Amino acid sequence: MDIRGKRILVIGGAGLIGSHVVEELLKEDVGEVIVYDNFSRGTHENLEQALKDPRCRIFEIGGDILQADILNDAVNGVDGVVHLAALWLLQCYEYPRAAFEVNVGGTFNVLEACVSRGVKTLVYSSSASVYGNAVEEPMTEQHPYNNWTFYGATKIAGEHMFRAYHRRYGLNGVILRYMNVYGPRQDYKGTYTAVIMKILDRIDKGLPPVVYGDGSQAYDFIYVGDTARANVCALKSDVSFGIYNVGRGIKTTIKELTELILKITGSDAAIQYEPGGQSFVTNRVGDPAAAERDLGFLWTVDLEDGLERLVEWRMAHIDKIEERREFHE
C-alpha cells in the first residue's frame, strides 16, 4: 500500500513496539497516525515525542479492543491498521480466560472492524511463541507449531482467523512473528527480555548478575526500532497476504547476553549461576530471509549497539525505572 497521505491506526500504539511503530510511521509522508490504546501496559510517556507531530493523536473516545463499537468507530475512515494489542505471555499463563477474551476475541473485533470499514491493509503482530522450541534451525515460517503456551495458542488463533478473513472477505495484510524484541521503553513484563533489565538492576546494586541454569538458553534478539520498521515495511508492501519472521537470524545465549551487558556497563562482576528459573522456551532463532525478500525488511542494529542504546535510555529514565522495579519486586 502506498501510505503517502494515508490515515493509519496503531492499535496498542503506546506500548514498547507500538510507540516505535508510531514514530517510524511519522518519518513517512503519512496523513495521520491515530493511537488506539487502553494504557494497561503502554504509557503516555512513550508517545511524548510522537505527539509533538501534528499528524499524531490519541483516539479520544477509548482504546480497548474489547469495546467493539468504540473500536469500529476508531477504524472508520482509516486506510491501514497495525494491530499490536495483546496480553503478554505470563499474563496469559496466569489468566487464560482473560487471554482468550483479549487476544482471540479482541483480535476478532479488529478483523471484523477492518472488513466492515473497508481497511486496505492490516498488519497483525504475532509471535515466535507459535513455534515453541526449535525443531530445526533456523526456523522458517514453515516450521511446525511446537507451542505449549496459552499465549502462543492465542497467537495461532489470531493468525488463522486473519487467514480465514483474507480468504472470505479479501482483507489484505501481513502477519509478523516477532523474535525477542528489546530496546528503549522496555519494561519488566517481557518474559525473555526482562532478563536484560534485571541484569542491569543487579549491576546497579553492585551485585553479580544471576543466570539460571548454565546460560545455554538461546534466542534471537531483535532491536525494537528494527521491529517497528518491519511493521512499516509490511504496511507498504504489495503482499496481499503473508506470514513473516521478524528477527536477525542470530542465536545468542543468555550467558553471551550477560557477558555483553557486563562489557557495555564496564562491570567486572562474575556471573552467578543458580538452578531454577522459569522459561517456556530454551532454544529459538528465526530465519529472516522471507521478510527481506518480500517486504524489503533487513535488520540494521546489532545486539551490542542495541544494548548500548537501551542502557543509555535507561540511565536517562532511571527514576521511572526504579518506580517500575519496586512495583515488580
**DSSP code string of 94-150:** H-HHHHIIIIIIIHHHHHHHHHHTT-SEEEEEEEGGGT-S-SSSSB-TTPPP---SH
**Whole-angstrom distance between the N-terminal and C-terminal Cα of the chain?**
45
Burial class (CB in 10 A: 0-12, 13-18, 19+), 160: exposed
Sign, CA torsion 9/11/14/19: negative
Using alpha carbons, list the distances in angstroms from residue 210 to 64, 195, 254, 269, 322: 37, 9, 10, 11, 19
**144 Cβ contact partners less than 8 Å away, ≥ 6 residues apart:** 131, 135
Question: In angstroms, rounded to a whole number, what is the distance separating the alpha carbons of residues 23 and 34?
Answer: 12
Looking up cell 516505535 gives 20
Which residue among the candidates 151, 165, 182, 223 is catalytic per the annotation?
151
Q: What number of helices (H) and strands (E) belong to the chain?
A: 12, 13
Q: Does residue 155 contact residue 208 with C-beta atoms inside 8 Å?
A: no
Catalytic (active site) residue 151: yes
Q: Which amino acid is at 41?
A: R
Question: In angstroms, rounded to a whole number, what is the distance separating the alpha carbons of residues 100 and 105?
Answer: 6
Beta bridge partners of 129: none
Provide the annotated active-site residues: 151
